[in-house]
Structure 1
Amino acid sequence: MATSMTRTFGALRSVTCSSLKNAELALDVRHPGPLFLPVRTKKRYFIPPAVGLKGKKEENPEAKAQAAGIVFRQQYFERPINIACSAGVFDPYIPPEGDARLSALSKEGLKQRTEQIRQSATSQLAIRKIKEHDSEFSTKTFAELAQEIFVEAHNTLTHFNREKLHSLVTERCYPEMTRGNRYKTIRWRFVESLEPPRVVHARCPDMVTKGNLYGQVTVRMHSKQTLAIYDRFGRLMLGSEEQPKDVLEYLVIERHLINPYSRWRLHGKIVPSWAPPKDPVIKTVAIPGPELKPWEEYDALNYEVPKPASVQWNK
């Protein structure tokens, strides 16, 4: 019994010694052995192009993926929809020709007045819808509110307070007011109101889904204003700060009615077809001077600007 146990321990000792020797040989630097074996588990159907290769033509990845049997997801280029305001003016108000020039007692003025009363039936239905969602709405007080929004929005535009301007105008009106104003200085002032503002048109359309209502109210405003625009060099481009002008405007004020946190904002203006054209931009040109050499100065030359020669137009 003792002899058999001695033989068993001897065999285990020899096996342990041989395994330790094999491990030492595997870890020996002089005789490196494979620590892991690469196993291919999945075949790659699409190999991306190498980074940094110059002088080689880039292959079409869609055609290569299609040949490999991989389908690319189709990309849709769609315009985003903003539900905070509508995309335009629904059923815009058509101002009568000669407005603010004809008296209400004249023949043409009476015709315009009767036509306005005839078209006000649709506006009355829209006002009822607006009052269902806005209990404080009233045509008597809303015109003054619209004028305050208009004045505050233009005063904010002159100082260009972006956050406040977004709360006064809609997302449709904002790019129209700020487009082309970079590197320019705007001086605008509201002088006085020639006639009290009044509501002339109202619509309450829905968009995207039924029940998504937007209230659009058109307000007629006849006032006196001053406007002056300067370029980045401080030169006058348009208007004048001292000379006020009579301006007749039709403002469209909009609100998203089903949103309880919405507010009335300036949405746009209606420009009638019979309105006079805008004043042209005052252009400034540089008068060419003498060609100076590096060691000369302009003040030392006493150069006089040449005057154009007189031309006889009529004999």
Structure 2
Amino acid sequence: CNILQREQALLDPAVQCHLPSLILLRTKKRYYVPKTDDAKKHTVDYEARARAAGIVVQQEYMERAINIACTAGIFDPYIPPEGDARLSKLSKEGLKQRTEQLKQSAASQIRKIREHDPKFSTKEFPDRALEIFIEAQTALAQFNKERLHKLVTERCYPFLESLEPPRVVHARCPDMVSKGNLYGQVTLRMHYKQTVAIYDRFGRLMLGDENEPRDALEYVVFERHLKNPYGTWRLHGKIIPSWAPPKDPIIKTLMIPGPQLKPWEEFNSHEHEKSTAKAV
């Protein structure tokens, strides 16, 4: 009888709650609720723990790094006269060019450069700049990175002969970051012969020729950090005149992937040309 009653009680929910064995089991059901003190702290404060342990945590700055060894560009760039190196100095237009060059040379800016660099001279500097220019080109051709970084700034070609002696045509002395942090920028007019040859990654000539020298007229900017006692004059950039004729763009080259060969197979160029022609 007792067994039948228990079986009926298991099937009947109304009777089920009155059984003492089932009541004991229900009282043992517990839902564990964790403490809310640690749950509120979503992230662990490592800095607070480090301070409590006596460790000094250095503050991390997310600002962008700025290089103050050189400027980011050319301040007040020199405007080359149209038809330069073609007009005679004795002609009317040549005299106009000369007067404009005297206006743009800015003697006050040169005076400011001499305050920080007493050895600077507009007569001697072109020869020194020409030496830097030639040395930078040879270092670039020889892939000498260490020497090139000492002659060229972070923002910036073999030399044959100089057609005209280089001369100073423009000088500026801007400041950057703070007042008094001066940078000297001197623009030189350089007329010389140069050979330039540009190859693509497959070794094909894309522009110029190694054996054909050409006349090049360039306005090269040299820069020096005047507030740095160990600063030197370095090649900073070039000024391209607005009236200069546009150059032809370099033709882009692409690599057509060849067939995947096994180690014991040989590549047959004729079969590859036929297969590519059929695919097109």
Give the TM-score normalised by the residue count of structure 2. 0.69
Distance in structure 2 (CA, Å) of the matches to 1:48 and 1:83: 38
Residues 164-221 of structure 1, C-alpha deviations (whole Å, 9 max, x = no match): 2211111222xxxxxxxxxxxxxx5211111100000111111121111111100000
Distance in structure 1 (CA, Å) of the matches to 2:103 and 2:269: 72
The match for 1:91 among 76, 89, 93 is: 76
Distance in structure 2 (CA, Å) of the matches to 1:104 and 1:204: 29
Query: Which residue of 1 is the match for residue 219 of structure 2?
Result: 250
The match for 1:161 among 130, 144, 151 is: 144
Query: Which residue of 1 is the match for residue 186 of structure 2?
Result: 217
RMSD: 3.2
1:160-309 paired onto structure 2 within 5 Å: 160-173=143-156, 189-281=158-250, 298=268
1:27-66 paired onto structure 2 within 5 Å: 43-44=37-38, 45-47=40-42
Distance in structure 2 (CA, Å) of the matches to 1:266 and 1:90: 15
Q: How far apart are residue 79 of structure 1 and its match?
A: 3.0
Task: Extract unaligned runs of 5+ from structure 2.
Answer: 1-35, 45-59, 257-263, 275-280
SS of residue in 2 equivalent to 1:267: strand
- Paired residues in the alignment total 220
SS of residue in 2 equivalent to 1:145: helix
Change in 2 beyond 3 A, CA 1:286/1:262: closer
Give the TM-score normalised by the residue count of structure 1. 0.62
Distance in structure 1 (CA, Å) of the matches to 2:41 and 2:75: 52
Q: Does 1:124 align with 2:107?
A: yes
Change in 2 beyond 3 A, CA 1:46/1:235: same
Code of the aligned partner of 1:95 = P
Residues 46-70 of structure 1, C-alpha deviations (whole Å, 9 max, x = no match): 2569xxxxxxxxxxxxxxxxxxxxx
Distance in structure 2 (CA, Å) of the matches to 1:196 and 1:172: 26
SS of residue in 1 equivalent to 2:168: strand
**2:159–2:195: 8 Å Cα contact kept in structure 1?**
yes
Query: Which residue of 2 is the match for residue 151 of structure 1?
Result: 134
Change in 2 beyond 3 A, CA 1:99/1:119: same
Distance in structure 2 (CA, Å) of the matches to 1:78 and 1:216: 28
Q: How far apart are residue 138 of structure 1 and its match?
A: 0.9
Percent identity, aligned pairs only, is 69
**1:238–1:279: 8 Å Cα contact kept in structure 2?**
no
**1:228–1:237: 8 Å Cα contact kept in structure 2?**
yes
SS of residue in 2 equivalent to 1:201: strand
Q: How far apart are residue 108 of structure 1 and its match?
A: 1.1
The match for 1:101 among 83, 86, 90 is: 86
**1:238–1:280: 8 Å Cα contact kept in structure 2?**
no
Change in 2 beyond 3 A, CA 1:107/1:166: same
